[in-house]
Amino acid sequence: MYGEGKPATLCVLAGSTVAGVFAAAAVTPADVIKTRLQSSSQPSPPYRNMTDCARRILQSEGPMAFFKGTVPRCLTTAPLFGIALMMYDLQQKVLGW
C-alpha cells in the first residue's frame, strides 16, 4: 500500500489487468455473434437476427464456439485496460486528486 490507503501503482496495474482478462472473456460470446452477423457477404444473410445466429452456432458448433478467439482477445485487451487504469491512477496521484 502507499500513503493514504491508496494501492501502489503496480497493484493497480496487476488488478486492472486481471479485471481486463475477465472483462474480455465475458464479452467474447457477444463479439463472436457480432462478427458472424457482420461477416456475411452473401446477398441474403444466413442469419435472421442475433438470437437466430446464437442458436445456429450452438447447434452446429457447440457452446465452445462462442469462446473462439478468447485467448488473443484477452492478451490484447487486458494489458491495454491495465495500462489505462494505471495511468489514470498515476494522474490522480500526481495531481493530488
Q: What is the pLDDT of residue 1?
A: 45
Q: Would the pLDDT of 3 be above 80? A: no
Residue pLDDT, tens place only, 22-59: 999 999 999 999 999 988 777 778 888 999 999 999 99
Q: What is the pLDDT of residue 16?
A: 95
Residue 13 CB neighbour total at 10 angstroms: 19
CA dist., res. 3 & res. 32, Å (int): 43
Nearest residue to 73 (alpha-carbon basis) of 32, 40, 34? 32
Q: What is the pLDDT of residue 7?
A: 86
